[in-house]
Amino acid sequence: MSTLLQNNQIISGELTQQSYSIDTFLGAGTQGEVYRAQANGRDVAIKWYFPHYIQNDLQLRQRLENAIRKGSPDNNFLWPLELVTQQNNNTSFGYVMPLRPNNFKSIVDLMRRRAEPSFHALISACLALSESFLQLHAKGLCYRDINFNNVFFDPNTGDILICDNDNVDVNGATGAINGTPRFMAPELVRGDSPPNTESDLFSLSILLFYMLMLHHPLEGKREASIRCFDQSAMNKLYGTEPLFIFDPQDNSNAPVVGLHDNALVYWVLYPQFLRDVFTRAFTTGIEDQHGRIRENEWRVILINLRDSIFYCRCGGQNFYDSDSVKNGENQKCWACNHSLVYPPRLRINNAVVMLNHDTKLYPHHTDQSQKFSFATQQAAVIRHPQDPNRWGLQNLSTNAWTITLPDNSIKTVEPQRSVNLTAGIGINFGNTVAEIQV
Amino acid sequence: MEIIKRPGGAMANRPLHFFWLADCSGSMYGEKIEQLNYAIRNAIKPMQDVAADNPNAQVMVRAIKFSTGAQWHIATATPVEEFKWDNLTSNGVTDMGLALQLVAEQLDVSQMPERCLPPVLVLVSDGQPTDDFNAGLAALMSKPWGKKSVRIGIGIGQDVDLEVLQKFIGNPEVKPLQANNAEDLVKYIRWASTVVLQAASAPASQVKDQVSTGVVPIPQAPIASDVEADDVW
Ligand SMILES: Nc1ncnc2c1ncn2[C@@H]1O[C@H](COP(=O)(O)OP(=O)(O)O)[C@@H](O)[C@H]1O
Ligand SMILES: [Mg+2]
Ligand SMILES: [Zn+2]
């Protein structure tokens, strides 16, 4: 229900003098209301501020003007495009931004299980988030309010969109928003320090944990012992006495069966390297700002995590954990409980890429000088056209590969040709070498 | 067959008990009670939307009506998705104290689940209590869940005893809201059932220097509209 603007009302752009016609109301937040609007047959979104909010946030206009001038850090932000004002009304103003398409769902939908991405799509969304926040932070900016309601994702593809960019400011600037409870770093909850890049990184770790585990990393026994979950309880849990539910040194805040089941289910499902990084994020990273996990580390971890997905014959996506394989553990599928059979895999330096029926390799995998590039497919797992029992890795790049067979003989794999997925074959992609393991 | 993509259930959450306490005394007769009925019906959908967007809470609604005596209007805690409003009618005196006694009984630890979010109590009245309000308030505050509740007071018209509402709220930083016309009443009722509901379960972005004492920080209430002559009670 809208309270500020009416249907068909015309407001005008400060930069372009464009007239925007207000269409439907999309939603309200703490700072204002968001509407769909049209200009020249094009759909956009317009956020219009509550007059009382503007009075509390004196830097707002200046901050928005800066953001508009600098432009979006990348394509995943619903970034302010221009300010809008209304004739004969100077009590408020707003800004135009791209409209979020309907295929994007909120993180709340993910938490309530109204959006069900595959692990692959979910991890892609986590990766895209880390990359976009890296772009924003690299520009010297601070986001200040990473939370459930400001991030959207496409459950089919893992594409993401980040909205509510009106609090973004130069790192260190004083702003009006301190963050959202449950996401704020402990030093912010305690009021010890204002938001900065490091507190954004803490919030990002919380969001990633929520997305991957559907649970908050600090809500264990201590949460269970609280009857009324009010402000003082939150201050304690997230501010003065934060303790990771899987702290290896202190199990006094462990998850409680029946209350925190998602944490218990998901924690053991993922590989050790993911548990290790979350453990650092919420042990050393909890009090020490220097201990926060940075986006470029998340990128590596999340790509490795996505590359470790393989399929059970029931279709369930599981994770290959080289640590548990080394320990000779018998891994069962979480979906059907059958013992899992590992597909062939490719070891590239310290990373393992599962060679599933649908695996593709990108420059990130095949070219050391192009880490994090997923621009073009460089290789794909394919089935032999005549012999359905034979699988290979097809060269989709423009360069020949050199392969070393187990008997040390050397062959070339020209573009479009394929190499058998046979144990012990080494592949030299050019400046990167890999080995097929079965 | 649709394969299950990921294990586990929905994110863990807690119940949030929401209580309407509505004045149905004779002075509410006519337009006022109808406007209150309208305002609450109007707030149902926004309230459901806020609840649906909040993974931290499972919102349960109940309602008490008070005039000569106090009774349950909605006695069973109803999931907000199923919440409907049967119109109230008015006549009798203003036994507000008894209404507080009634809600206090339900806020006893023996009646409440072990773990909850702070309960929300929204008291709407157009006058002053005719019974022992202080005894009712004392009964409410004697319950731990009563003390932990988030209390909002909405006054209708000029005759409301704002001091009593302020006492009920029990937090000097949160003022009673005085609705002088139907439009304001709609706004305030909606604010209580959406913004306050949200604040009690998953506080939104923390605006610097906002009211932060009390059980949970309560964001600013909407501002009264310009009064139009024919819309004044
Ligand atoms: N670009 C957009 N396209 C579609 N919906 C949007 C867009 N930006 C915000 N919204 C919706 O508008 C509502 C309020 O937006 P938000 O910016 O979070 O408000 P606030 O910052 O005041 O809390 C939310 O429901 C959000 O999903
Ligand atoms: Mg917001
Ligand atoms: Zn299976």
Tell me if B1 is assigned to some domain: no
Q: How confident is the model at residue B212 (pLDDT cuts 50, 70, 90)?
A: low
At B233 the three-state DSSP class reads coil
The two beta strands, A379-383 and A391-395, are antiparallel
Q: pLDDT of A152-182, one tens digit each?
A: 999 999 999 999 999 999 998 888 788 999 9
At B172 the three-state DSSP class reads coil
- Provide the domain limits for residue B74: 15-231
Q: pLDDT of A60-79, one tens digit each?
A: 999 999 999 999 999 999 99
pLDDT in the model for residue B230: 44
Query: What distance in Å separates the CA atoms of residue B131 and residue B153, rounded to the nearest whole number?
Result: 18
- Count: domains in chain B: 1
At A265 the three-state DSSP class reads helix
Query: What distance in Å separates the CA atoms of residue B75 and residue A285, rounded to the nearest whole number?
Result: 48
Closest CA–CA distance from residue B125 to any residue of chain A (Å): 24
Tokens of A215: 């649970």
> Is A339's pLDDT higher than 50?
yes
**Nearest Cα residue in chain B from A156:** B5
Tell me if B9 is assigned to some domain: no
Residues of chain A in contact with residue B202, where contact means CB-CB under 8 angstroms, are: 181-182
Tell me if B10 is assigned to some domain: no
Whether residue A227 and residue B115 make contact (CB cut-off 8 A), yes or no, is yes
Strand order from edge to edge, sheet including A418-420? A360-361, A379-383, A391-395, A418-420
Whether residue A228 and residue B145 make contact (CB cut-off 8 A), yes or no, is yes
Whether residue B219 and residue A30 make contact (CB cut-off 8 A), yes or no, is yes
pLDDT in the model for residue A88: 83
> Is B36's pLDDT higher than 70?
yes
Residues 6+ away with beta carbon under 8 Å from A300: none
**Nearest Cα residue in chain B from A268:** B7
Tokens of A411: 């062959």
Q: What is the DSSP string of A199-242?
A: HHHHHHHHHHHHHHHSS-TT-SHHHHT-SB--HHHHHIIIIIS-
Q: Relative to the CA of A33, which ligand 1 atom is closest?
A: 14
Whether residue A108 and residue B55 make contact (CB cut-off 8 A), yes or no, is yes
Q: How confident is the model at residue A52 (pLDDT cuts 50, 70, 90)?
A: confident
Whether residue A177 and residue B205 make contact (CB cut-off 8 A), yes or no, is yes
pLDDT in the model for residue B227: 47
At A147 the three-state DSSP class reads coil
Q: Relative to the CA of A161, which ligand 1 atom is closest?
A: 1
- A26 touches A35 (CB < 8 A): yes
> Is B210's pLDDT higher than 60?
no
- A299 touches A130 (CB < 8 A): yes
**CATH at B182:** 3.40.50.410
Residues with CB under 6 A from ligand 1: A 26-32, 34, 45, 47, 78, 97, 99-100, 149-150, 163-164; B 205
> Is A390's pLDDT higher than 50?
yes
Residues 6+ away with beta carbon under 8 Å from A284: A291
Query: What distance in Å separates the CA atoms of residue A346 and residue A361, rounded to the nearest whole number?
Result: 10
> Is B232's pLDDT higher than 60?
no
Tell the residue nearest (CA) to atom 25 of ligand 1: A27
Q: pLDDT of B90-115, one tens digit each?
A: 999 999 999 999 999 999 999 999 99
> Is B228's pLDDT higher than 80?
no
pLDDT in the model for residue B220: 75
Question: Considering only A218-222, A384-388, B78-82, B201-205, which range has the smallest mean pLDDT?
Answer: B201-205
Question: Residues B83-86: contacts with CB within 8 Å, 24+ apart?
Answer: B83/B44, B83/B47, B83/B48, B84/B44, B85/B37, B85/B40, B85/B41, B85/B44
Query: What distance in Å separates the CA atoms of residue B70 and residue A238, rounded to the nearest whole number?
Result: 41
Q: How confident is the model at residue B4 (pLDDT cuts 50, 70, 90)?
A: confident
Whether residue B206 and residue A147 make contact (CB cut-off 8 A), yes or no, is no
Phi, psi of A187 (to 5 degrees): -65, -25
Q: pLDDT of B126-154, one tens digit each?
A: 999 999 999 999 999 999 999 999 999 99
Q: How far is the CA of A295 from the centre of ligand 2 (A)?
A: 22
> Is B224's pLDDT higher than 80?
no
Domains identified in chain A and CATH numbers: 10-97 (3.30.200.20), 105-300 (1.10.510.10), 343-437 (2.60.200.20)
Residues 6+ away with beta carbon under 8 Å from B130: B25, B93, B94, B95, B96
Q: Average pLDDT in the A206-230 region?
A: 97
Place of tokens 């969109």: A161
Question: Residues A184-188: contacts with CB within 8 Å, 24+ apart?
Answer: A184/A238, A184/B206, A185/A289, A186/A238, A186/A239, A186/A240, A186/A242, A186/A286, A186/A287, A187/A289
Query: Mean pLDDT over all residues of chain A?
Result: 95
Question: What percent of chain A has a predicted confidence (pLDDT) above 70?
Answer: 100
Q: How confident is the model at residue A119 (pLDDT cuts 50, 70, 90)?
A: very high
Tell the residue nearest (CA) to atom 27 of ligand 1: A27
Residues of chain B in contact with residue A230, where contact means CB-CB under 8 angstroms, are: 117-118, 148, 215-216
pLDDT in the model for residue A176: 76
Q: How confident is the model at residue A435 (pLDDT cuts 50, 70, 90)?
A: very high
Tell me if B104 is assigned to some domain: yes
Q: Average pLDDT in the A303-330 region?
A: 94
Q: Give the residue, B134 or B173, on which the prediction is more confident.
A: B134
Query: What distance in Å separates the CA atoms of residue A315 and residue B74, rounded to the nearest whole number?
Result: 48
Question: Considering only A361-370, B159-168, B175-184, B221-230, which range has the smallest mean pLDDT?
Answer: B221-230
Other Cβ atoms closer than 10 A to A384: 12
CA-closest candidate to residue A107, choices A34, A201, A200, A204:
A204
Q: Average pLDDT in the A252-266 region?
A: 98
Tell me if B3 is assigned to some domain: no
Tell the residue nearest (CA) to atom 1 of ligand 1: A99
Query: What distance in Å separates the CA atoms of residue A194 and residue A170, rounded to the nearest whole number?
Result: 13
Residues of chain A in contact with residue B205, where contact means CB-CB under 8 angstroms, are: 29-31, 145, 147, 167, 177-180
Q: Average pLDDT in the A111-125 region?
A: 97
Tell me if B155 is assigned to some domain: yes
Question: What percent of chain A has a predicted confidence (pLDDT) above 90?
Answer: 90
> Is A2's pLDDT higher than 90?
no
Question: Considering only A203-207, B151-155, B217-221, which range has the smallest mean pLDDT?
Answer: B217-221
CA-closest candidate to residue B20, choices B92, B116, B132, B103:
B103
At A105 the three-state DSSP class reads strand
Q: ipTM of the assembly?
A: 0.91
Tell me if B5 is assigned to some domain: no
> Is A13's pLDDT higher than 50?
yes
One-letter amino acid of A73: P
Q: Report the Cα A280 to chain-centroid distance in Å.
A: 18
A152 touches chain B (CB under 8 A): no
